[in-house]
Amino acid sequence: MKHQNSFVHDTGSLSKLTIHQLADRYANGALTCDGLLHDLSAAIRSRDRDQRQIRAYINFDSIRPIRREVPKASKLWGIPIAVKDNLCVAGEETTCGSKILKGFISPYHATVVEKLLNAGAVIFGRTNQDEFAFGSSCETSCYGPTRNPRDPERVPGGSSGGSAACVADHTAIAALGSDTGGSIRQPASFCGVVGMKPTYGRVSRYGLIAFASSLDQIGPITKDVRDNALFLNVIAGHDPKDSTSADVPVPDYSDFLGRSIQGMRIGIAAPVQTPILENAVKVLKSLGAKVEALSLPHIAYAVSVYYIVAPAEASSNLARFDGVRFGFRDKSAPSLLEMYEHTRGQGFGAEAKRRIILGTYSLSSGYYDAYYLHAMKVRTKIKNDFDAAFKKVDAILSPTAPSPAFKLGEKAASPLEMYLSDIYTIPANLAGVPALSVPGGTDHSTGGKDLPLGLQFIGKPFDEGTLYQLAYAFEQATDYHKRLGNVC
């Protein structure tokens, strides 16, 4: 692709466009890929220099585009995508925000990266995250925190904080995140963008550095619902390299956009009625949806189940970071045991250590039945609650997070308080169902700036289409995504 200098634009203005807007420009010949990348680089550079220190990217000074020659008609042709640091990109350092993986050059592409490249997308930049995706604030990264572009005093949410922040800040067109207990949706809510956690098994996990294998899903973070639907279509589908990837046909999600939601049934289970939720109910009812109260008696236990199951799986998933084959090693350790203990002791940050300890404990001899096995049984009850609910409704509506973005350091002292910020998002991971966060309004209660707040739609397994249908109808009936400056 040659850079056509004849095409003139304002620096940084192209980066404000959405995927579908850019696709239109490509289609009518008004844009070149090099031109777009040039513009995006300029935007990233200017943000890097500004006072706000957003730091969404971990490699802002060394981003190199990775792309494949594919037909121009391909779905994401020429669209730059920022990629969370826990997804393997061949030939690139992939560190999961952790010192222990420093220097690890992946010899292979994650399946999602393969799919993006085959669809014509350009892999452009690696985004910051909580170390090993352990966190809800993007503060536990070994690269330091990412800040919220809506208010740099505040966190962008986590763990996919870098991915949400760069999309909100117009230093990315769209980004890949991963979600184990809310890591796509909560930062989307905090940053005022759209984030989807697909059904477990919808998107291949091959190449996603595992946090909790039975909960992790990769998903798109975008400026609007249409982009999200387009993006998910490219990365969804069966992958023979992932045993837990489902062989279920993927519909064209764009077909769901613009369909009427007249008569659709929406359940509300939130114990608290927030102004955001009340407003959303009003909007959805005005569009013809039926809203009813629901009982999900066991979701009150979701956070507890999650903090048994997720650390247990994590403690085992993180065992491979042992300094033997790749990454960091304490080379001064004289014995094997000391090599292990010091490599891991120095390589992992505090939150990773905390979760490894918690997980090892709940799996250890004498505690397995009381903690892990018991939690897996309560997980069954939570899943059954959803199964029962989806016999009555098409989707469940809730806030994405209990509060707007909090300040940096505000919850760092109390892990438990931090864990509770995922109270609305965790149940969908435990049940494996899809959930989407869209901008639902703003919060004025904190004083000063208007902070975005997300609205979460939870759907039936493999029914992401319905979530897009509802979220698109809501988005079109409101203008939060425009008011936030996501779309120009």
Partner 1 sequence: MLTTVGLEVHVQLDSKTKIFCGCRIQFGGAPNSRTCPVCLGLPGALPVLNRRVFDLGLRAVLALSGTISKKIKFDRKNYYYPDLPKGYQISQWDCPLGRGGFVELDSGKKIRLNRAHLEEDAGKLIHDQSPDTSLVDLNRAGTPLLEIVTEPDLENPAEAYEYLSHLKTILKAVGVSECDMEKGQLRCDANVSVRNAASDPLGKRVEIKNLNSFKAVKAALEFEVTRQTEAFEKGVALTQETRLWDDKLQKTFSMRSKEEANDYRYFPEPDLVPFTVSEEEIKTARAEFSKWELPRQKKERFAKQYGLSDYDACLLSGQDDVALFFEETVKLSKNAKAAANWIIGPVFAYLGSKGVTLNQTKLTANHLSKIYQLVEKGRMSFQAAKDNVFAEVIANGLDPETVMKEKHLEQVSEDGALIEWIAEVMQANPKVVDDFRSGKPSAAQFLVGQVMKKSKGKANPGKAKDLLLIKLKEI
Partner 2 sequence: MGSLDLRHIARLSRLHLTDAEIKFFETQVAQILSFVDQLKAVDVEGVEPTSHPLSLCNVFREDEIKPSILLEEFLKNAPRAKGPFFEVPKIIESHS
Per CB under 8 A, does 383 bind partner 2?
Answer: yes
- The alpha carbon of residue 347 and the mean position of all alpha carbons in its chain are separated, in whole angstroms, by 24
List the one residue out of 274, 265, 260 whose CA is nearest residue 294: 265
Tell which one of 268, 287, 291, 333 touches partner 2 (CB under 8 A).
Answer: 333
Cβ atoms of 457 and 397 closer than 8 Å: yes
List the one residue out of 146, 170, 173, 172 whose CA is nearest residue 160: 146
- From partner 2, partner 1, none, interface partner of 101 (C-beta below 5 to 8 A by class): partner 1
CA dihedral (141, 143, 144, 148) in degrees, to 10, reads -80
Looking at the Cβ atoms of 8 and 337, the one nearer to partner 1 is 337
Tell which one of 190, 256, 307, 472 touches partner 2 (CB under 8 A).
Answer: 307
Question: Omega into 159 within 30° of 0, i.e. cis?
Answer: yes
- Distance of closest approach, residue 269 Cβ to partner 2, in angstroms: 18
- Distance of closest approach, residue 88 Cβ to partner 1, in angstroms: 5
- From partner 1, partner 2, none, interface partner of 7 (C-beta below 5 to 8 A by class): none
List the one residue out of 400, 390, 368 whose CA is nearest residue 462: 390
List the one residue out of 446, 450, 448 whose CA is nearest residue 406: 446
- The alpha carbon of residue 197 and the mean position of all alpha carbons in its chain are separated, in whole angstroms, by 7
Tell me the H-state helices in 160-274.
161-168, 185-191, 225-235
- From partner 1, partner 2, none, interface partner of 209 (C-beta below 5 to 8 A by class): partner 1
Looking at the Cβ atoms of 91 and 144, the one nearer to partner 2 is 91
- From partner 1, partner 2, none, interface partner of 472 (C-beta below 5 to 8 A by class): none
Looking at the Cβ atoms of 260 and 380, the one nearer to partner 2 is 380
Looking at the Cβ atoms of 73 and 337, the one nearer to partner 1 is 337
Strand-strand pairing, 194-197 and 290-293: unpaired
Q: Report how far apart, in Å, the C-alpha atoms of 366 and of each of 312, 355, 356, 357, 362 are.
A: 15, 19, 17, 15, 9
Residue numbers annotated as active site: 84, 159, 183
Looking at the Cβ atoms of 27 and 357, the one nearer to partner 2 is 357
Tell which one of 2, 73, 337, 391 touches partner 2 (CB under 8 A).
Answer: 337
Per CB under 8 A, does 391 bind partner 2?
Answer: no
Element spanning 336, H or E: helix 336-347
Tell which one of 42, 65, 153, 326 touches partner 2 (CB under 8 A).
Answer: 326
- From partner 1, partner 2, none, interface partner of 415 (C-beta below 5 to 8 A by class): partner 2
List the one residue out of 134, 157, 19 whose CA is nearest residue 452: 157
CA dihedral (65, 71, 76, 80) in degrees, to 10, reads 10
Applying the rule CB under 8 A, the residues between 104 and 123 that interact with partner 2 are 104-105, 107
Q: How many residues bind partner 2 (CB under 8 A)?
A: 74
The rounded distance, in Å, linking the Cα atoms of 295 and 45 is: 49
- The alpha carbon of residue 74 and the mean position of all alpha carbons in its chain are separated, in whole angstroms, by 24
Looking at the Cβ atoms of 74 and 316, the one nearer to partner 1 is 316
Binding mask 399-418 toward partner 2 (x if CB under 8 A, else -) reads: ----------------xx--
- Report the SS3 class of residue 456: strand
- From partner 1, partner 2, none, interface partner of 482 (C-beta below 5 to 8 A by class): none
Applying the rule CB under 8 A, the residues between 417 and 436 that interact with partner 2 are 419, 430-433
Strands (E), 13-158: 80-84, 122-127
∠ CA 205-211-214, nearest 5°, is 60
The rounded distance, in Å, linking the Cα atoms of 434 and 469 is: 13
Binding mask 362-381 toward partner 2 (x if CB under 8 A, else -) reads: --x-xx--xx-xxxxxxxxx
The rounded distance, in Å, linking the Cα atoms of 175 and 82 is: 4
What is the token pair recorded at 226?
Answer: 């249409």
- Distance of closest approach, residue 230 Cβ to partner 1, in angstroms: 25
- From partner 1, partner 2, none, interface partner of 105 (C-beta below 5 to 8 A by class): partner 2
Taken in order 318, 321, 326, 329, the sign of the CA dihedral is positive
- From partner 2, partner 1, none, interface partner of 458 (C-beta below 5 to 8 A by class): none
- From partner 2, partner 1, none, interface partner of 208 (C-beta below 5 to 8 A by class): partner 1
Applying the rule CB under 8 A, the residues between 450 and 469 that interact with partner 2 are 461
The rounded distance, in Å, linking the Cα atoms of 394 and 47 is: 42
- Distance of closest approach, residue 150 Cβ to partner 1, in angstroms: 32
∠ CA 153-400-471, nearest 5°, is 115
Tell which one of 2, 8, 73, 331 touches partner 2 (CB under 8 A).
Answer: 331
Tell which one of 354, 449, 482, 483 touches partner 2 (CB under 8 A).
Answer: 354
Which parts of this chain interact with partner 1 (CB under 8 A)? Answer: 86-88, 94, 96, 101, 104, 106-108, 110, 205-210, 212-214, 240-244, 312-313, 315-316, 318-322, 324-326, 336-337, 340, 360, 363-365, 368, 372
Per CB under 8 A, does 65 bind partner 2?
Answer: no
